[in-house]
Amino acid sequence: MAEQRAARLWRPVALLLAASILASGVSSIAAAPASAAANLQRMKAAVARDPVPASLMETESAAEDIIDFVLSHDRGSLVTRASSLRAAANGPAAAALTRAGVPSAKVAQLKRRAERVTQLARSGSFIDIALAANAVSQLMPDLYARFRDPIPAPILTLDYLDREVQFRSVARQPEKVAMAITALERTWMRLRREVIAAGGAKAAAAYQRHVVALRRLGPRAGKELQAEAVNGLNLVDEIENVFAR
């Protein structure tokens, strides 16, 4: 898992609204054919975005590295990585997000969550650190979606939710496990057709079996549920590869 997580450093997330904006643009063009070409050019310019900043990718990567260090009970490495997470979130990532027009409240939320990880890193319980780092990951789909990439943002949401199932189960919080499973099902329902349309029928079928397994096991299943959540994380990597080809 550590190698798979490290391989995601390059991974940004798709602009979710592009298709709907383009669709509305096409309707307008149909109503006014004389200006079709000009309208299309303006629409393309409106949806163009910069690539995901390296500083935001570093913030995401740091949060995931911390989770790996938690799983290996490597306190020293997670303390060091927590410092780099805070530095990225408070410095270059915050600046890049502000330049991209991200609301100040959202940027402040990222900073607070990174600070929370840093505060817990030295003496907090490993499960509390894992949950705090995953809370940083929770923000990434929305933040990445403000930039340009072919990979749909809900894929990052699946990644966050499978982790949430895993860690809330370890923390013996079945109500929150149930909430995460429900959110994961809803996210997958919206994403499934897109994965299949991109040529990922096999990956979609595998992830659908995973979703069914989570529901069958239920929020109190313990280690079996946790293992299925880890299986889901591996399947998310396969789904990412469908769009990264």
* Per-residue confidence band for 139, with pLDDT thresholds at 50, 70 and 90: very high
Assess whether 137 and 161 both reside in one domain.
no
In whole angstroms, give the CA distance from residue 78 to residue 122: 8
Claim to verify: residue 41 and residue 156 sit in the same structural domain? no
Q: In terms of domains, do 128 and 179 share one?
A: no
pLDDT at residue number 46: 38
Number of structural domains found in the chain: 2
**Do 12 and 113 lie in a common domain?**
yes
Give the confidence band of 50 by pLDDT, cuts at 50, 70, 90: confident
Per the model's pLDDT, the better-predicted residue between 32 and 205 turns out to be: 205
Structure tokens at 87: 């530095």
19 and 116, same domain (yes or no): yes
- On whether both 98 and 144 belong to a single domain, the answer is yes
Q: Which of 149, 183, 199 is the last residue of a domain?
A: 149
Look at residues 149, 166, 185 and tell me which one is the last residue of a structural domain.
149
Instruction: Tell me: do 131 and 164 sit in the same domain.
Output: no
Domain end, chosen from 115, 130, 149, is at 149
Task: Determine the Cα–Cα distance for residues 16 and 9; give it in Å rounded to an integer.
Answer: 20
pLDDT at res. 9 = 37
Q: Are 133 and 63 in contact (CB under 8 A)?
A: yes
Does 154 lie in the same domain as 122? no
Give dist(CA 53, CA 148) in Å, integer: 10
Chain segment 78-107, per-residue pLDDT in tens: 999 999 999 999 999 999 999 999 999 999
| pLDDT over 60 (residue 20) | no
145 and 160 assigned to the same domain? no
Q: What is the mean pLDDT of residues 170-198?
A: 96
Report which listed range, 8-17, 29-38, 138-147, is most confident. 138-147
Q: What is the pLDDT of residue 77?
A: 97
Predicted structure pTM score: 0.79
- Domain co-membership, 77 together with 183: no
Whether residue 82 is found in the same domain as residue 116: yes
At 237, the amino acid letter reads D
Boundaries of domain holding 144: 1-149
Helices 104-121 & 126-144, crossing angle to 10 degrees?
Answer: 160
Q: For residues 136 and 162, state if they share a domain.
A: no
